[in-house]
Structure 1
Amino acid sequence: MSSEDLFERTLASMHRAALDDSEWLSAAALINESVSAVGHALVLTRGHSLDGEIFFMRFCYGGRRREDFEHTFIHDYLDRDERVPRITRLPDGQLVHTPELFTEVERKRSPVYNELLGDMEAQRGLNVRLDGPAGSDVIWTLADCADKDGWSSDHLAMFKRLRPHIRHLVSVRHALVEADALGTSLHGLLENARTCVMELDRRGKIVAANDLARDILRQRDGLFAPGGFLRATRVEENSGLQRLVARAIPPFRGQGVGGSAIVGGSSPSSRWIVHVQPVEPGLRDSRMRRVAALVLAVRPASPVWIDPGLVALALGLTVTESRLASMLAAGKCVREIAAETGRKKATVHWHLDRIFRKLGIARQAELVRRVLSLQTLNERPRPAGSTDESPSD
């Protein structure tokens, strides 16, 4: 099989896996074969430290999920993995070889590098961080190369070629999980009331839409459908949307490619993230034979904001401490907090240590949970243009 044929087979399998979790292992096996890796790990997380949330994690070797590796990583090594804060701070899309994530001393002494990655055949792998949905990070890590000569330029080219499709796979899957619709049939998706669903035929014409999507199209809230064809209301955004549809439904029944775009809504502050996903023939039932592409339109998650004054009052913190705690709960890392407040990272850590002692806690995740628990009391909307500025102590 040529590399192009293998790429198209892998892409088609990834499209099926985005809509149906039972297809995941088949897609994982083809991903490993395409890049000549003995295995790979795919993680969706948020947070730039060991306290970050993990929403999704799969370690797959060949066509088999290695839950034993996942369990060992989470329970025995995560809290001392030197890679985690380094990977999550990488620029979007930057490729890094695994040895580069460890210092020379760590490569000799680190239990993660010598024990975990040794057992997983992953000491000479590849890593990339991708911007994920709702401020999350998609971490894609390959284990060692299956070829005895190691990574070639062809392997790296395939890795880079699959990179945007990995991001799209995770984004579509996340949108379906948020809508409680993962694994739902195409017909069943039309009954979903939590996200906008539209189904297109091979001409790109809408053949079915759920109630929420019909309301949006009727109100021209960023999207409309003259003659039944999906359009963005803003001319400058419509050309990009049409390119997405054309790539998802190519002529002559070629292999479609999924993609996403941001489309402005009816007000300056409202936006839609539009995912256009090819629908492979195997996912079409007798009622949905005409469906060639699926469109999901979701609102970006609104940033969490808790009034620092409320945090200070409820938790007994100073003005500075409550401000830093609110920023941490909003998903900012220590480096970002330091940059935005004009402090050194060591100073931010010092303030956090004071907060931990006051509250009798030991981890950033515990502080975030305490702050977010106040959200129901935070009835006042965030002021327009607010920048979290408050006087220092």
Structure 2
Amino acid sequence: MDAVCTRLQAGVFHSFTLDASGAPTPESTSNLESFGLHAGNMAEYETQHADNDRRLAATLRVAPGGVMLDHEHISAREAQRNPVYADWLVPLGLKHTAGIVVRMEGSARDLISFMRPRDAQPYAAGDKRFIEHLVPDIARAARLRARMLDLSHRASLSLAALDTLRQSVAVVDAQCRIHHANAAMERLLAAPGALRTRQGGMGCADGAAHAQLRQLVAAACASPGRAAVLALPEEGPQRLAVTVLPLQAHHAWAALRQVPMALVVAAIPGGAMAGMDHALVGDMLGLSPTEARLALLLASGKTVKDFAAIQGCTWNTARTHLANLLGKTGCRRQVELVQLLQALRVG
């Protein structure tokens, strides 16, 4: 952006997001310091002047990707009377502005403005063409930034929810290195037992079980990933079942790290399926709400036809949901899916 400012003879750029929905938005960025200003100047604009900014209103009227040059929308006389120009922009040594909406998704709008010093000439047609040439790349960067913020927010909420579970849950990579473990998993790994920390990652006390766990995790992190359940040798009154599930690339926990990941859940198998939270199951497995409801119905003994009747959809639609569900969980058959849900017993 500094190079773009140099080419445009702009002293300052300002990138910010408008979203009336209240969703998390990226922090605004600018190069105020390089122009001899400080962050408080932009904070003053955002709290005191943005609502009266004729430049902002003009930019929002231009189609996304189009360039707003303020002198084409605001006359010199209007600018002299406008408090944004008179009380904020000009006293800071700035005047001429080029504005662009670089991303429009739902209620969110990402905008960038380039402001020239007050003694410079207004932007010309050549400047406008130069900005239009760069807009596709700037827009792609804005989409990636918003996507990473959304993934970070979703992942932090989901990981916080894991700490409320009684089950021991961890996110691991293909080498069984632990990237996150909930409180229950940390307690389990710290205590003597069948599952423990080994060679810097997750492992088993029994050598054969350890080798099998590593194979299952590697298979879950492969493409396509495969889910499986491992029953560990007894080291206490009850046998521990370890469920290994692939995390799809779109899943918040996997996408942030940009490497194949697997979800490892350790629990005592068995128990009733009633009362399982479909929202939590969906978060853990990266399922849509409909797919999570289907999974729980199948695990409770219902059929795909039962699901179609309950959901009010056609048999073909229900089969499509089943195919998506099996693909996301890495299961090849319904019986494998039921075994996985029974081992999870997320309640």
Q: TM-score, normalised by structure 2?
A: 0.41
Q: TM-score, normalised by structure 1?
A: 0.37
